[in-house]
Chain A
Amino acid sequence: MIQLKHLFKWYNVGSTRSFVLKDVSLTIEEGDFISIMGPSGSGKSTLLNIIGMLDAPDEGEYFFQGENVLDLKQKKRTQLFQSHMGYVFQSYHLLDEMTVYENIETPLIYKNKSSSERKSIVSDLLDRFNIVGKKDLFPSQLSGGQQQIVGIARALAGSPSLLLADEPTGNLNSKQGEEIMELFQQLNAEGVTIIQVTHSEKNATYGKRTIHMLDGQLK
């Protein structure tokens, strides 16, 4: 599904280059569940963002389902992102001025789904995550765990084949964290490829494979 070849990413600090990613190559198969671990500043988030097309490497190649992502035009890349990827964040990043329902609906609007289609998809998700009763609440009215569930529901709204999660349980207590991880496992079982960045050994065990990073390199 994903092939990364010799990725480099650096910042110029004065006259020296400070590498965030240094010659990273990685292949990810469809249906995989990968946990990326490593200390702060090891480049795990950068790697995730490059996979998620939110960031670009300074050097190297990135193939997604055989397409050379870095050569694609912005519009094409947005399309590819919309149809295949969902993002989950540590601090949920819900849109504050929108209700739960609207938050989940927004990606569908960007995908130009018809209003009836949107309605059925959002209803299914609300149902599935047991948040029907909260659909008209605003994010500030929810607990952290609930907000993250909405975040996941929103990420799944576009029925992505790849779910990217940047420390999804980082702001949650352990019980809430476990629930989210079980949810991820279940999704993976349904065929969604998942890549998560995590600090927690325990969370990493939910995945099928763990990658360790240090100073911008895979170990």
Chain B
Amino acid sequence: MLTNNLKIAWRNITKNKLYSSIKIGGFAFGIAICLLIVLYIKHETGYNKLYPAMERVYRLVVQAPEGNKINRWVSLSAPGAATLKDEIPAIESSGRMLPNPQFGAGSNQLTINSLPESHYDDGFVYIDQSILDMFPSPMQYGQLQHALDKPNTVVLTKSKAIKYFKGNPIGQQIYLNNDKSKSYTITGVIDDIPSHSTLSGYGFFMSLAGEPFYPGEQQKWTSNNYTIYIKLKPETNVSLAEQEIFKTYISGHYIPELIKAGRKVGPIVNQIKIKLQNALDIHLYSADIEDDRVSTLNRGDIRMVWTFAAVAFFILLIAGINFVNLSTANATNRAKEIGIRKTIGSSRNSLISQFMIEALSYSFLSLLLGVLLANLLLPLFNNIANKSIQMPWFNWYFIPSLVLATVIIGVVAGIYPALYLSGFRPIAALKNKLVGNVRKPSLRNGLVIFQFATSIILIIGALISNQQIQYILQKDLGFSKVQVIVLRGLNAVDDKLSPLKRELYTLPTVSHVSIGDYLPVPIDGAKRNGNAFWLDGKREQDLATQGQFWRIDEEYLDTYGIKLIEGRNFNPEMASDSMGIIVNKQMIAELGIKNPIGSKITNGETWTIVGVVDDFIFESLKGEGIAPIGLVLRDSPSLLSIKVQPQHMDETLASITKVWNQFSPNQKINYSFMDEGFEALYQDVKRTKNMFTCFAVVAIFIASLGLFGLVTYITQQRTKEIGIRKVLGASHMSLLKLLSEDFIKLVFVAIVIAIPIAWWAMNQWLADFNYRININWVYFIVAGGSAILIALLTISFQTIKVIRTNPVDSLRNE
């Protein structure tokens, strides 16, 4: 029975090649996309699973309500980690990570031993030895246990070690930013950090042992720059641990220190909670943590995972629906066979099993093709999603899950057609009396509507996310980021900064040069900080205004085209400007200053306001609004920005390089364009957009494929009717209308269903952006219009063929 059924299935598949290839091809496409997304989800949900005992490792997250939302952040103080471990018995170990560029993490200029050459590289981070113990990596050289115990030690990843050393580099020295007073000794080389790790992206792990970055820094509870990880002892109650941590950290140390410093304890302190975030949750559940971007270089979002899972499911569903629709539409062609089989003694069950085996054969072939297709598309997918996912061919579960998937997909897609077809009454089937029954199938119409509605939602999603990206990239930020070249690693120039600046000004296309690390775009190497401001003399009474405190030079405002709306720019000639400050409008607003020029504000030191600039957007357009900012005339000499004329860019770059080489013969020039850096900030949004675009294309493709097959069958069944109508004098146009009408109506219904759903979903997505487009009805018209156009093209391809046939041929068949 089985071999016989398989044989019949194969003959049916090969008999009608168009029909089979639509069925198998569409299904295979759906399966391929689905498989890729499943692999992606598996990768995203597998973060940190490679480390042992992760169920006991947690990151400290502080949360406090603001209005009706809850702010969360992970930056904490230097003494927190060790104190918690000492005072709370449930904590087995604790460790800190300092990823803040302010202290030398991030990107640095690097020299090796006493060699003259220097290099510019990224991936620097300060950590405690205990972090290495919690997230252990296999060692290439050295001992993991005590690698970072001593001050001024560093552990490299394998690829960094290969980049700078031959063989075993243990014991060699590196220097950062030309600071010869401080050498870091290499004590270990670990394997490269895999992409599904919290430490991913880092390559230089520098010891925190013996650091104060400034006097008293290590004992200061009110300065928050560290991410703290703890490992609890087995079977510790997490919420009790959270309470103890709060008691020790906030009540035991933080508040007493505030009071000792004569600072006011704000009501916010009473609403603060310290939560423990499990290490396995860090990757996907930190999208709302404000400072997470600083400490985690490879961020995910659980909402993305769910969205993708839904997309995978719907694409598979669309492909499955094709299967059902084509099978039932094919009913009239199969009816005779079913009738015959029943009259030669087939029971309904044996017909059902025959159709199920056929369905399983289709799904098996589709899966085979789908897996091959997925394998081919994987590099492209990795590229779009910025992952390094591999086909898990040799994992024990891979092949069995595929087989299971084949069976499930085959059964789910095949069961309805099998029941439907096997239920035909034999006599009616033999006499072709099923036509009425087949022509008005409300279920099939429902399925077509569903397919098109889903596709239209994806198209609208792709259109809107595209538009949002365009909007962000072209948004007026309050400063100009075009034609600005940023040079990095200026420490190589040492004390010849002013001559370098003068030399650059001699180039004809250079209009402004500014030295400073606090760039208005948070690109790689740009610094940010957090400072508390008060009106002078109000420090003891008022709550602090949180803002940024940037060190700039007098060229900064001109280089970036930041608009001065009151007062004046800095003048280095005026001695008083060394204690002058330029603030933004937001600072004035938050501090409530009426006549800003000449007013004094304090952040520990007291500054006199000399100018006010218009607000400019210096953070990602996702997230928070504009924060208060104070600009002071101070050195921060590792980045240099050059505003150039748009003409002759190549020559300009060549002459800048020449000047650089003259001043820094031992380090290659490292430059980037600020607008490109700005675009890079939105890589993740761009990725989302690209993936949605791909999914939308696949969905509409599969849906059209199904429609094509369906139209082919329906029009074939109507050839006789068309013949008669032609004999009666119907025009081609009226026939085309007749044949298309029913389908186009379905697409219209799909549009009506899709619009509110897409509107709602895209509003959710846009809500993440502080600056966003309004959803315009044009998107709906474009998406709906293109769906109708695609459907019309699909339909007419078949119908025109049928309409053109000579009625004599179609009627003679009877």
Contacts and interface: CB of A to CB of B under 8 A. Distances in A.
Nearest to B10: A97
A49 B426 CA distance: 10
Nearest to B14: A97
B661 interface: no
Contacts of B344: 86-87, 106-107, 110, 154-155
A111 interface: yes
Contacts of A89: 343, 430
Interface stretch (A73-81, A168-176, A204-212): A73-81
A117 interface: no
Contacts of B345: 78, 81-82, 107, 110-111, 158
B337 interface: yes
A54 B342 contact: yes
A34 interface: no
A93 B347 contact: no
Interface centre among B11, B337, B345, B348 (most CB of A within 10 A): B345
Contacts of A4: none
A93 B336 contact: yes
A94 interface: yes
B43 interface: no
B8 interface: yes
A94 B427 contact: no
Contacts of B425: 55
B99 to A, nearest CB: 68
A26 interface: no
B119 interface: no
B343 to A, nearest CB: 4
A97 B20 CA distance: 15
A69 interface: no
Given A49-B427, A75-B347, A97 B15 contact: yes
Contacts of A106: 4, 341, 344, 346
B343 A78 contact: no
Interface string A157-178: 0100000000000000000000
Nearest to A77: B347
Contacts of A24: none
B341 A95 contact: yes
B12 A78 contact: no
B339 interface: yes
Nearest to B344: A107
B653 interface: no
B343 A87 contact: yes
Interface in A119-178: 154-155, 158
Contacts of A110: 341, 344-347, 350
Sorting the interface of chain B by its residue count into under 10, 10 to 19, 20 to 34 or 35 or more gives: 20 to 34
B66 to A, nearest CB: 69
A95 B346 CA distance: 13
Contacts of B336: 93
A189 interface: no
Given A107-B344, A107-B345, A97 B12 contact: yes
User: Could you say which of B1, B15, B430 has the most chain A C-beta atoms within 10 Å of its C-beta?
Assistant: B430
Interface string B170-207: 00000000000000000000000000000000000000
B340 A94 contact: yes
Contacts of A94: 340
A87 B787 CA distance: 50
Contact of A54 (B347, B348, B426): B426
Nearest to B349: A75
A112 B2 CA distance: 12
Nearest to B342: A54
A183 to B, nearest CB: 18
Nearest to A154: B344
Contacts of A72: none
Interface in A49-100: 49, 52, 54-55, 74-75, 78, 81-82, 86-87, 89, 93-98
B340 A54 contact: no
Interface string A178-190: 0000000000000
Contacts of A78: 345, 347
Interface in B1-27: 1, 4, 8, 11-12, 15
Query: Which of A78, A111, A158 gathers the greatest number of chain B CB atoms within 10 Å?
Result: A78
Nearest to B336: A93
Contacts of A95: 337, 340-341
Contacts of A96: 337
Contact of B8 (A98, A155, A158): A98
Nearest to B339: A93
24 contacts: A52-B343, A54-B342, A55-B425, A74-B347, A75-B347, A78-B347, A81-B345, A82-B345, A87-B343, A89-B430, A93-B336, A93-B340, A94-B340, A95-B341, A97-B11, A97-B15, A98-B8, A106-B344, A107-B344, A109-B4, A110-B344, A110-B345, A110-B350, A112-B1
Closest 4 CB pairs of A and B: A82-B345, A107-B344, A87-B343, A110-B345
Interface of B: 1, 4, 8, 11-12, 15, 336-337, 339-348, 350, 425-427, 430
Given A55-B427, A86-B344, A106-B341, 10 more contacts: A74-B347, A89-B430, A93-B339, A93-B343, A95-B340, A95-B341, A98-B8, A107-B345, A110-B346, A110-B350
